[in-house]
Amino acid sequence: MRNLIALFACSCVVLSASANDPAPAAAARLAASVSKPASASLPSKEQMAKDAAKEPVPGKKEAPAKKAAPADEDKEQEAEVALSAKIAERLAELRERQQARASAAARARKAADAKRLQEEKAAAAAAILAAAPKHGTVWSYEGETGPANWSKINVDWAKCGTGNRQSPIDLRDGIKVNLEQIGFDYHPSSFNEVNNGHTIQVTVGGGNFITVGNQTYELQQFHFHRPSEERINGKGTEMVMHLVHKSYDGKIAIVAVLLERGQPHSLMQTVWDNLPLEKNEVVSPSIVIDPKDALPEKREYFTYMGSMTEPPCTEGVLWLVFKQPRQASPAQMALFSRLYPLNARPVQSTAGRMIKESN
């Protein structure tokens, strides 16, 4: 019996030596708890001597006289068996716990190693990116390549982030003055169109001019945004059309025509009827369009100095925004929204710029 207890205590010590845990205490407690009742029930030395004398000889029938203490002996054996079982059970429990702790620790170490490796890789990649000059060309209206990050994609697009004369803006608190009418000299023209991945863009043949003050600009192309990029007193419309013009010395003037739901828009329909099947495929229909069909009846407008509303966000652009919207049918609007549900830059800070409007 004592041998069993000693064996158990030793096993506990061995088991817990590497685990660095409270097992020794548990082992000591258990050893104490099992040794007390055991020693209390253990026979004295004299009794053990007597018992030894009474040991039955194998193959020999026990004498009736020697059967004096079979009950005690059985009890002792039973207790011993029970104690062995208890010890074995406890040892198994301790081993199991130790294994669980060891594998948990191994898992934690593995996870920490993997995390450290990942962090090192990310830091190395970030360092390479930070060191290299950025000349990205991919931009969009949402997510990683969206308007908030345009300036970080390409070093030449810095103005998108740092410029203080950016477009679009919310047109409000304009100075009401007697603005000179914009002179339109538009004619039926040949055209080609492309779905360039950002909008549907129509390039118009030469010979279409506007005059603002004493400056003349030639129409280059027009395109669409959904929703409208510009707002008037905080309110936008479902779409907008931008007609982009250039002067002989490279100055840009953009006429904006807001679009709201209503009657069909004949010019828009011609453009939609000739949509290319593939992105970046340029189609040149054999018909003509008249850019005059893009203009509203009333010609009052807002004007301010701003920028291109897409990278590289070049400033020095003269904006001319008509107050009266043109209409387009819900079906025409729906067609564009299937291609471009959102292709509008958010409004930018006015930053104290002067806005003039026709009174």
Q: Under the rule (CB under 5 A), what is the footprint of Zn ion?
A: 242
Question: Which of residues 10 and 342 has its CB atom nearest to Zn ion in the complex?
Answer: 342
Q: Report in angstroms how near the CB of residue 122 gets to Zn ion at its nearest.
A: 37
Q: Report in angstroms how near the CB of residue 107 gets to Zn ion at its nearest.
A: 55
Q: Report in angstroms how near the CB of residue 225 gets to Zn ion at its nearest.
A: 5
* Structure tokens that stand for 96 in this block: 């199991």
Q: Report in angstroms how near the CB of residue 196 gets to Zn ion at its nearest.
A: 12
Please report which helix (H) or strand (E) contains residue 94, including its range: helix 70-131
Q: Residue with CB nearest Zn ion?
A: 242
* Structure tokens that stand for 290 in this block: 């008249």
For 322, residues 6+ apart whose C-beta sits below 8 A from its C-beta are 255, 256, 257, 258, 295, 296, 298, 299, 300, 301
Closest C-alpha to 222, from 196, 248, 261: 196
Distance, CA of 178 to chain centre: 50
Question: Which of residues 16 and 166 has its CB atom nearest to Zn ion in the complex?
Answer: 166
Rg of the Cα atoms in the chain? 45
Question: Which of residues 174 and 306 has its CB atom nearest to Zn ion in the complex?
Answer: 306
Longest dimension (CA), the chain: 140
Q: Report in angstroms how near the CB of residue 223 gets to Zn ion at its nearest.
A: 6
User: What is the DSSP code string of 238-274?
Assistant: SEEEEEEEEETTS-EEEEEEEEEESS--HHHHHHHHT
Question: Which of residues 30 and 308 has its CB atom nearest to Zn ion in the complex?
Answer: 308
Question: Which of residues 11 and 314 has its CB atom nearest to Zn ion in the complex?
Answer: 314
Closest C-alpha to 334, from 285, 272, 267, 256: 272
Distance CA 281, CA 272 (A): 15
Q: Report in angstroms how near the CB of residue 256 gets to Zn ion at its nearest.
A: 8
Question: Which of residues 90 and 226 has its CB atom nearest to Zn ion in the complex?
Answer: 226
